[in-house]
A and B are shown apart, each in its own frame.
Chain A
Amino acid sequence: MLAFTLRRAFQAIGVMIAVGIISFSMFRFAGDPVNQMVALDTSAAERAEIRKSLGLDDPVPLQFARYFGNAVQFKFGVSYQFRQPVASLLKERMPATLELAICATILAMVFGILMGVYSALRRDTFFAKVLQAVSLIGISLPTFLIGILLIYLFAVVLGWLPSFGRGEVVRFGWWTTGLLTVSGLKALILPSITLGLFQMTLIMRLVRAEMLEVLRTDYIRFARARGLTTRAIHFGHALKNTLVPVITVAGLQFGSVIAFAIITETVFQWPGMGLLFVQAVQNVDIPIMAAYLLMVSLIFVTINLVVDILYTVVDPRLRSTIGRAT
């Protein structure tokens, strides 16, 4: 068990170093940091001076070590467009993205599980078939089209909800939250639905498949034979056993929710990290792109690691297979 945990942790660190090399090469070679910093009429000698003072003529491995050392302390350099440290830009925008991603995930879990259970238990009803068809269409519609559709319906035609921005936010230290004001909550609804819809269809299909699988097993038949109520069987026994894979998938998907927030944030002009990243891509702001890549990879790798380890803790069957495999 300990050996497995350590090996996974080493793998995670290896991935982070690989991402770090990519991020560093983008930072160092894709855009010349000096050209971005100086004016057009700066002489070659002055440029060489700046180059030297930034340490850009040191050997590349040394530069990489320095970049990595800075990145570990969350120093990512200065943004070309904003002339501000990238770290503070990201920090400023992180609460917006995390709030959106968490709301979307909760929404997707609650409705996905409800709809999945319904379409498994009432498999042949009309509504369950509608849900299946809608989920296929939901997978085929690109996220930004869903966002535009929702904006048109609820902001343009009905005028119930705002179409852009975060509304009023309340500040706690460096964290800002929109969850405590009415306008903030209203602004959160449409982006969360847009972002959560894909995960919702995914969870719904998964819950449906798992439920159908579990309902066929012997212990459910035995529970029926014992004369338990249908409700106790369905929700006490069947649903409980489907939840482990569902929570795993939802956990693993949280990383992609943050990445997909790029699209949702652009549609709704949500002031998060994703919007910052898109603007960076449009304006070729390499430091922001490199830092965003590092941050998102860190989140991905951490989630994957935690889920892997938790899984072996929760499910003893996996532990024995791991023992045999090594």
Chain B
Amino acid sequence: MSDVAVPKAEPSVPRAKATPGWFGRALESDIFYSFRRSRLTMVAAAVTLLFFLLAIFASVISVQNPFDPAQLQLMNSRIAPLWTADGQSPFLLGTDEQGRDVFSAILYGMRISLAVGVLGVLFSGALGILLGLIAGYVGGAVDGLIMRIADVQLTFPAILIALLVNGVAKSVFGNRLDAMSTLAVLVFAIGLCFWVQYARTVRGSVMVEKSKDYVAAAQLIGLPTPVIMWRHVLPNAMGPILVIATINLALAVITEATLSFLGAGMPDTMPSLGTLIRIGNNYLFSGEWWIVAFPGLALATLILSINLLGDWLRDALNPQLR
């Protein structure tokens, strides 16, 4: 669209002083233009940002630390949300069986969910990018082996692999893992599920890029292979990686929530949104709908807005769709 009116220089060529700083360049980029034109995307970005902020400042915003037993009172158990007839003052979304404020529990749970999601995406991204770089640059038998594993793994659903990794980890480390180690196991399991897409994408771009002149030039001046791959080839494959990472964040959050819901994820002492939903599900029949409804709503909204962002980013970075 804007390409027709204003012919631009190659956007990927960084110039040190002539152009304005990265922020100025970002403001007049095509991506930001397409961002401002889509109202739905702006709403989704705002909601995602809000959730991240709520998660980061959970301890400041919440009315109590829902996992400090000293702050809980059984007197306050099973209070309905504030706007219903039985609502009570500090508990905006009601309380659960043990007198925990549901709103505070959601904030803390969101923190765990997003932490596992972000760390899982970082881990799977690092693993996938590394394997993809190696496969694409080295080629031959190494490439064949890595891609074969990727093909086979792609036929298995992520949740099955995550459950298996989780079960094996529990059996190796014993069933008494503390909450932080469980979190690490979850990140590891999710990372192992989602590396394939990164590896395939990076391998594809590396195979295209490595026959280009600039790589030959870099080899000619004697740069070591890892430096060429990291500093010169990888930046040219960053666009698709960003899209995959965004969509995978939603997938990672869903996977973590599902594992926790199935009882194979975060324990009750340090619950994520999935754990909160599993706990709340037990009170569905006794009429305390708010214990499960609000964590569920928070999870669904979070995933929907990340998905919308991912969809938009995929279209915005794809020049063929413009």
* Residues of A that sit less than 8 Å from B by CB: 15, 18, 26, 30-31, 136-137, 139-145, 148-149, 151-152, 156, 163, 255-256, 259-260, 262-263, 266, 277-278, 280-282, 284, 286, 289, 293, 296-297, 300-301, 304
Contacts and interface: CB of A to CB of B under 8 A. Distances in A.
A30 B171 contact: yes
Given A30-B172, A140-B300, A148 B307 contact: no
A297 B289 CA distance: 39
Contact of B170 (A140, A143, A284): A284
Contact of B304 (A30, A137, A256, A284): A137
B262 A266 contact: yes
Contact of B264 (A26, A142, A278): A278
A156 B282 CA distance: 12
Contacts of B138: none
A144 B171 contact: no
A255 B156 CA distance: 8
Interface stretch (B21-29, B58-66, B96-104, B161-169): B161-169
Contacts of B168: 26, 30, 286, 289
B38 interface: no
Nearest to A301: B155
Contacts of A256: 157
Contacts of B157: 256, 259-260
B159 A142 contact: no
Given A140-B304, A148-B292, A282 B263 contact: yes
B152 interface: yes
Given A266-B262, A281-B167, 10 more contacts: A30-B168, A136-B307, A137-B304, A259-B156, A281-B170, A281-B264, A282-B262, A282-B264, A296-B160, A297-B156
Nearest to B264: A281
Contacts of A301: 155
A15 B281 contact: no
Interface in B242-260: 250, 254, 257-258
A153 to B, nearest CB: 11
B258 A263 contact: yes
Nearest to A143: B258
Q: Which 4 A-B pairs have the closest CB atoms?
A: A281-B167, A140-B304, A259-B157, A284-B171
Given A136-B307, A262-B163, A300-B156, A148 B296 contact: yes
A148 B263 contact: no
Nearest to B168: A30
Given A143-B258, A156-B284, A259-B159, A284 B175 contact: yes
Contacts of B277: 144-145, 148
Nearest to A152: B284
Contacts of A18: 152
A260 B284 CA distance: 23
B303 to A, nearest CB: 5
A139 B307 contact: yes
Nearest to B257: A142
Contacts of A300: 155-156
A304 B163 contact: no
Contacts of B186: none
A278 B263 contact: yes
Contacts of B299: 142, 145
Contacts, number: 100
Contacts of A142: 254, 257-258, 261, 299-300, 303
Contact of A140 (B171, B285, B307): B307
A33 to B, nearest CB: 12
A299 to B, nearest CB: 11
B303 A140 contact: yes
B312 to A, nearest CB: 12
A286 B160 CA distance: 15
B239 to A, nearest CB: 23
Nearest to A288: B167
Interface string B125-169: 000000000000000000000000000100111011001101110
A161 to B, nearest CB: 14
A242 B168 CA distance: 43
Nearest to A300: B155
Contacts of B250: 140
A174 to B, nearest CB: 25
Contacts of B258: 142-144, 263
A272 to B, nearest CB: 14
Contacts of A136: 304, 307
Interface in B290-314: 292, 296, 299-300, 303-304, 307
Most A CB contacts (10 A, CB to CB) among B157, B160, B263, B304 go to: B160
Contacts of B262: 144, 262-263, 266, 278, 281-282
Nearest to A281: B167
Q: Which among B167, B261, B300 has the greatest number of chain A C-beta atoms within 10 A? A: B167
A145 B300 contact: yes
A178 B173 CA distance: 40
Contacts of B164: 26, 281, 289, 293
Nearest to B304: A140
Contacts of A260: 157, 159
Contacts of B284: 148, 151-152, 156
Contacts of A263: 159, 258, 261-262
B160 A262 contact: yes
A10 B155 CA distance: 17
Contact of A31 (B171, B285, B296): B171
A99 B281 CA distance: 26
Contact of A289 (B155, B167, B285): B167
